[in-house]
Amino acid sequence: MSFTTAVTWLVGLGVLFVAVKPVGGYLARVFTAQPTVLDRVWGRPERWLFRVSGVDPNYDMSAWEFAAALVVTNVVLLAAVYVLLRLQVSLPFNPQHFPDVRSSIALNTAVSFATNTNWQAYAGEHTLSNFSQFAALGFAQFIAPASGVAAGVAFVRALSGRKLGNFFVDLTRACTRILLPLAVLVTLVLVWQGVPETLAGYAHAHLITGGRQIIPRGPIASFDAIAHLGQNGGGFTHANSANPLENPTAVSNLLYAIVMGLLPVGLFGFFGIMTGRMRTAWTLTAVAGVLFLGMLVLYYVPEAAGNPVINSLGLHGTANWIGQELRFGTGGSALFTTSSMAFSTGSVATAQDSLLPLASLGSFFGMFVNMVFGGKGVGLLNMMMFVILTVFLIGLMVGRTPEFLGKKIETREVSLALLAFLVHPFLILGGTALAVYLPAARHGVTNAGAHGLSEILYAFTSAAANNGSAFAGLHAALPFYTAAISMVMLIGRYVPLVAMLLLGESLLRKRTVPETVGTLRTDGVLFGGVLLTSVIIVNALAFFPVIALGPLAEHYLLMAHHLFS
C-alpha cells in the first residue's frame, strides 16, 4: 500500500470516527428543538411557513400519520419533478436548448430522485437543462434525504420514550439546520478545487490539434454538494463523480467520501445520545465500522493485484486501470466506492461494470445489508432491524423473551422487522429472476457470461437499496428496466420505512421492564460479535446462491483466463 493511500484512508476514516459524537450531538439539539445558532436566521421564516401551511409544530403525529405525511410529501415531489422535466423546453436556464424529457425517462427519474435512489437512465450533460438539474433534481436531493432523516429521527424518538414528532417540522429542520448550511460550505470547497458553478452555456474549445471540444458547464458544484451530503448520488453528468468536471482532484474525491458519511455516522451517535445508551451506539458503530473496513480491503486488494489476463501481456505495473481515473489512485477510488456503497449514496468515481469480480463483491455486500451506516436515516433503521432480529435469535437460544432498551420484543415487533428485512431480498432476487427469464430484458446486458448476470443483479440490488449506482453496461433505458426498476425503488423505499415506524410506535407503547442481571446486554464485544455474525449469516442465506452464479463464478473463470466474446 502506498503512502498516499494510507494517508487518504486514515484521514477519511479518522474524520468520520471523530464525527460520530459531535454530529450526533448537533442532531440531538436540532431534533429536540434546543436552540441552535441558525435559529436567528430560520426561526422567523419557519414559523411563518408553518402558519401559512397549517402545520402545528407542537402536534405529535402517530406512526401512520407520520408515514402518510412522508408519503404525501414524496408524491408531491415526484409529481413536481416529473412535470418540470416534461416542460423543460418552456422553462428558463436551458442554454443548450434541450427538448422535453420523454415520459418514461421522466417518470423513472422522478421516482428515482424522490426515493433517494438517484438511478439515472439518462446522460445529464446532453439531456437536462440547468433548471431541470437544480430546480427539479437538486431540490429533490434535499427533500428525499430529509424525509429519510425525519423517519430515522422519529424512530429514535420512539426508542427513547418520546413521541414520534411532526414530520413537516423535522423535514424543514433537517433542510435548514443541517443540509443547507453544509451544502453551501461543500460547494465552495468544490469550486475551489475546480468544479464549475456557472449558469453560462457549454464552452467551445478550439483545440491545438485542429478539432473542437464542447465542454459542459453548469451549477455542478452546488448539485454535487447536496448529492453527497444527502447520500443521493445523482450525477450532473453520465460518468458521475468519475468525471473530472465533477471530481477534479484527489482532494475533492476525499471530501466527497467524507461528507457522504457525516449524517449516517452522526445518526448512530444521535441514537446513543437520545436513548442515553452511548455504549450500545458505539457497539453498533464498531460493527458497521468492521464491515466498512472489510469492504474497503475487499475492493483494494483485487484491484491492486489487477486482471490476470491483461497482466500476462507483461506491461508495467499490475493494478487495474480500466474504468479508473488516474488522479485518485487505487486507494482513493477504493475509499470513494466503499463510502458510496456503505452510505448508500450510489455516486461512482469508477466504472463499476469494469471492476474485478471480487472488488464488485464489496459493492454488492454494502447494498445487500444496507446498514454499514447506510444512508439518510434508513441505514440506522436497517441496523435496528438487524439488532431486533439478533436479540430475537439470542432470545430463542437461551429461551427468554427477548428485550431491547428495556422493552419486550414480541410477535408484532419481530413480524415487522422480518417484513422490513424480507422485502429486500424478495425485490432483488425476484426482479433479477424475472429479468433473466424475459428475453427482452436479457438482451439489455453488454457483457456475456457470468458478468451479464451481475449487471442485472446489480441493477435490482441498487434499486432496492435505493443506492442508484449501476453496472452501466446494462441498457437501463429499455422499457422493461425503466418500469421494473421504478417499481422496485418505490417498494424498496417505503415498505421498510413504514414497517419500522410502526415498530417504533409499538415499542413506545410498551411498559418498560426493569433491567436485571438476566437481561441481555446490547453492548460490548459479545453482542457486537453475535450481531455481526447474524448479519453475515442471514444475508449469506439470502444472497450466496446468486453471488455464486455472478461475481464468484466470474472470478474463477478469470483466474482460469476464460474469456467471453
Partner 1 sequence: MRWSFLKPALLVSLGLWLLLGVAYPLAATAVSQLLFPRQAAGSLVRLRGRVVGAAHVGQNFWGQRDYFWGRPSATLSPLTGRLQPYDAENSGSSNLGPTSRTLLVDVQEALRQLQAASPGLRRRQIPLSLVEVSASGLDPDITVGAALIQVPRVAKNTGLSRNYLTALVRLAARSPEWGLFGTERVNVLTLNLLVYRSLHDTAHREPPT
Task: Please tell me the distance from the alpha carbon of residue 263 to that of residue 140, in angstroms, as a whole number.
Answer: 17
- Please answer whether residues 250 and 199 qualify as being in contact, where contact means their C-beta atoms are separated by less than 8 angstroms: no
Task: Please tell me the distance from the alpha carbon of residue 285 to that of residue 535, in angstroms, as a whole number.
Answer: 14
Q: How far is CA 537 from the centre of its chain?
A: 23
Select from 82, 113, 119, 223 the one that contacts partner 1 (CB under 8 A). Answer: 223
Binding residues for partner 1 restricted to 313-332, rule: CB under 8 A: 313-329, 332
Task: Please tell me the distance from the alpha carbon of residue 403 to that of residue 437, in angstroms, as a whole number.
Answer: 44
Vertex 115: Cα angle to 299 and 505 (nearest 5): 100
Task: Please tell me the distance from the alpha carbon of residue 163 to that of residue 156, in angstroms, as a whole number.
Answer: 10
How far CA 484 is from CA of 79, 205, 346, in Å, comes to: 19, 41, 19
| Binding-residue pattern over the window 157 to 176 for partner 1, x denoting contact by CB under 8 A | -----------x--xx--xx
Number of residues that bind partner 1 (CB under 8 A): 133
Q: Quick check: 505 binds partner 1 (CB under 8 A)?
A: no
Select from 37, 207, 397, 525 the one that contacts partner 1 (CB under 8 A). Answer: 207
Return the C-alpha cell found at 143: 427533500
Give me the sign of the Cα torsion angle 174, 177, 178, 180: positive
Q: Which of 334, 150, 342, 368 is nearest to 261 (CA)?
A: 342
Q: Quick check: 442 binds partner 1 (CB under 8 A)?
A: no
Q: Which of 132, 148, 149, 146 is nearest to 80 (CA)?
A: 132
Binding residues for partner 1 restricted to 133-152, rule: CB under 8 A: 134-136, 138-139, 142-143
In this complex, which beta carbon is closest to partner 1, that of residue 25 or of residue 201? 201
CB of 451 to partner 1, least distance (A): 4
For residue 212, the SS3 value is strand
Q: How far is CA 204 from the centre of its chain?
A: 35
CB of 44 to partner 1, least distance (A): 13
Select from 17, 47, 89, 564 the one that contacts partner 1 (CB under 8 A). Answer: 564
| Binding-residue pattern over the window 94 to 123 for partner 1, x denoting contact by CB under 8 A | -----------------------------x
CB of 341 to partner 1, least distance (A): 16
Select from 97, 206, 509, 511 the one that contacts partner 1 (CB under 8 A). Answer: 206
Pairing of strands 403-404, 407-408: antiparallel
Binding residues for partner 1 restricted to 353-382, rule: CB under 8 A: 353-357
Candidate segments 148-156, 258-266, 286-294, 303-311, binder of partner 1 by CB under 8 A: 303-311
CB of 285 to partner 1, least distance (A): 25
Select from 25, 95, 161, 244 the one that contacts partner 1 (CB under 8 A). Answer: 244
Q: Quick check: 350 binds partner 1 (CB under 8 A)?
A: yes
Task: Please tell me the distance from the alpha carbon of residue 412 to that of residue 134, in angstroms, as a whole number.
Answer: 43
Q: Quick check: 203 binds partner 1 (CB under 8 A)?
A: yes
CA torsion angle 304 330 348 339 (round to 10): 90
Q: Quick check: 294 binds partner 1 (CB under 8 A)?
A: no
| Binding-residue pattern over the window 181 to 200 for partner 1, x denoting contact by CB under 8 A | --xx--xx--xxxxxxxxxx
Select from 245, 263, 380, 501 the one that contacts partner 1 (CB under 8 A). Answer: 245
Candidate segments 31-39, 345-353, 416-424, 527-535, binder of partner 1 by CB under 8 A: 345-353
